[in-house]
């Protein structure tokens, strides 16, 4: 199976340090997370209530939805706090040549 190519998303310098940055990439709205252990990316809309995760509370590697306080681990998308029960959509992310890139 062929892997999808890497796509530039945002310059590392434009990220909100240790926080979440909203990025529109075509029709997708993404949340880019600057964490102590690297950069991660997910869809910005919570799969539980549709709220924008970029408006939520972020702590280390957990994003809390601003609508119902469901929480997800941004490293793998797994739900870590109710009422969230399904993993959020995450993307493989990396930093290359000063740019955050995602695969997908």
Number of domains composing the chain: 1
DSSP classification of residue 44: S
Q: Is 1 a member of any domain?
A: no
Does 11 fall in a domain? Answer: yes
Helix H or strand E encompassing 21: strand 20-25
Check which CATH number belongs to the domain holding 88 and give it.
2.102.10.10
Q: What is the average per-residue pLDDT within 84-103?
A: 97
DSSP-based three-state secondary structure for 54: helix
pLDDT at 13: 97
Cβ atoms of 46 and 86 within 8 Å: the answer is no
Residue 82 in any domain: the answer is: yes
DSSP 3-state helix, strand, coil percentages of the chain (rounded to 5)?
5, 50, 45
What single-letter DSSP state applies at residue 15?
S
In whole angstroms, what is the distance from residue 63 CA to residue 57 CA?
Answer: 6
The mean pLDDT value for 61-85 works out to: 96
Confidence band of 2 (pLDDT split at 50, 70, 90): confident
- Which residues are registered as beta bridge partners of 91? 41
> What digits encode the pLDDT tens for the residues 16-66?
999 999 999 999 999 999 999 999 999 999 998 889 999 999 999 999 999
- The DSSP output letter for 68 is T
Structural domain span for residue 71: 6-103
Q: Is the pLDDT of residue 1 over 70?
A: no
Beta bridge partners of 63: 58, 72
Q: How confident is the model at residue 87 (pLDDT cuts 50, 70, 90)?
A: very high
Predicted local distance difference test score (pLDDT) of residue 49:
80
């Amino acid at each position: 199976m062929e892997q999808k190519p890497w796509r530039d998303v945002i310059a590392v310098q434009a990220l909100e340090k240790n926080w979440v940055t909203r990025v529109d990439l075509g029709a997708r709205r993404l949340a880019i997370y600057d964490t102590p252990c690297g950069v991660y990316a997910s869809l910005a809309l919570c799969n539980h209530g549709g709220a924008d995760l970029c408006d939520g509370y972020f702590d280390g590697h957990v994003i809390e939805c601003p609508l119902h306080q469901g929480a997800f681990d941004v490293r793998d998308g797994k739900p870590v706090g109710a009422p969230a029960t399904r993993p959020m959509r995450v993307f493989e992310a990396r930093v290359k040549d000063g740019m955050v890139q995602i695969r997908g």
